[in-house]
């Protein structure tokens, strides 16, 4: 069932290098700028993944300028977690961290079990196949949650 778009969404995963940047970029592309969308990781020890950039470019989502950041960096920069209406965790570790950080706020945390494609596949084409699966899982969850894209 489609729910109304929240005013702000934070996507999170382990490193803010694959799943959460994909979700952030695709949501912005699908639903426009009416919702403030950001992404973070439990860690920010990796830059945006090249395969992630490639499979999102296939659907006209630009991620090359994305800079990874963590929950800790977000707080250091003054971004308040309580200012988000919804946190969507895309990995078990990020769900635990989000729940830990939001326990004092009236804030919804959802968990979407999205496959981590890193390390899967031997050839470039096999790797791209797994990254496309992850991208398509995110798209499926977005559409289930908020309906068909309003932009594109």
Question: What residue segments make up the domains of the chain, in order of their start?
Answer: 8-146
Using left for φ > 0, alpha for ψ between -120 and 50, and beta otherwise, residue 130 falls in alpha
Instruction: Identify whether the C-beta of residue 96 lies closer than 8 Å to the C-beta of residue 31.
Output: no
pLDDT tens digit at each of 152 positions of the chain:
568 899 999 999 999 889 999 999 999 999 988 899 999 999 877 788 899 999 999 999 999 988 888 888 887 776 777 788 899 999 999 999 888 887 777 788 999 999 999 989 899 999 999 999 999 999 999 999 999 998 76
Per-residue confidence (pLDDT) for residue 57, from 0 to 100: 96
Q: Taking the alpha carbons of 124, 126, 130, 136 in that order, is the dihedral positive or negative?
A: positive
Per-residue confidence (pLDDT) for residue 67, from 0 to 100: 87
Per-residue confidence (pLDDT) for residue 72, from 0 to 100: 85
**Helices 50-57 and 19-31, interaxial angle, to 10°?**
20
What residues pair up with 38 in beta bridges, in sequence order? 10
Q: Residue 125 class from Cβ within 10 Å (0-12 exposed, 13-18 middle, 19+ buried)?
A: exposed
Per-residue confidence (pLDDT) for residue 135, from 0 to 100: 97
CATH topology of domain 8-146: Rossmann fold (3.40.50)
User: Rounded CA gap, 113 and 8, in Å?
Assistant: 21
Per-residue confidence (pLDDT) for residue 2, from 0 to 100: 67
Q: Kindly report the pTM of this predicted structure.
A: 0.91
Using left for φ > 0, alpha for ψ between -120 and 50, and beta otherwise, residue 32 falls in left
Q: How many CB atoms sit inside 10 A of residue 67's CB?
A: 10
**Phi, psi at 13, each rounded to 5°:** -150, -160
Q: How many CB atoms sit inside 10 A of residue 33's CB?
A: 8
What residues pair up with 88 in beta bridges, in sequence order? 11, 110
Cα diameter, the chain: 46
């Amino acid at each position: 069932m489609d729910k109304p778009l929240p005013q702000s969404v934070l996507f999170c995963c382990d490193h803010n290098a694959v799943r959460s940047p994909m979700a952030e970029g695709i949501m912005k592309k699908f639903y426009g700028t009416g919702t403030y969308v950001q992404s973070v990781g439990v860690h920010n020890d990796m830059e945006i993944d090249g395969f992630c950039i490639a499979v999102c470019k296939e659907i006209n989502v630009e991620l090359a300028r994305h800079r990874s950041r963590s929950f800790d960096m977000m707080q250091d920069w003054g971004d308040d977690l309580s200012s988000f209406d919804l946190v969507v965790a895309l990995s078990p570790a990020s769900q635990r961290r989000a729940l830990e950080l939001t326990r004092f706020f009236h804030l919804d945390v959802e968990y979407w079990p999205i496959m981590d494609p890193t390390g899967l596949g031997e050839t470039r084409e096999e790797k791209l196949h797994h990254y496309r699966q992850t991208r398509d899982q995110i798209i499926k969850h977005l559409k289930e949650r908020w309906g068909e894209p309003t932009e594109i």
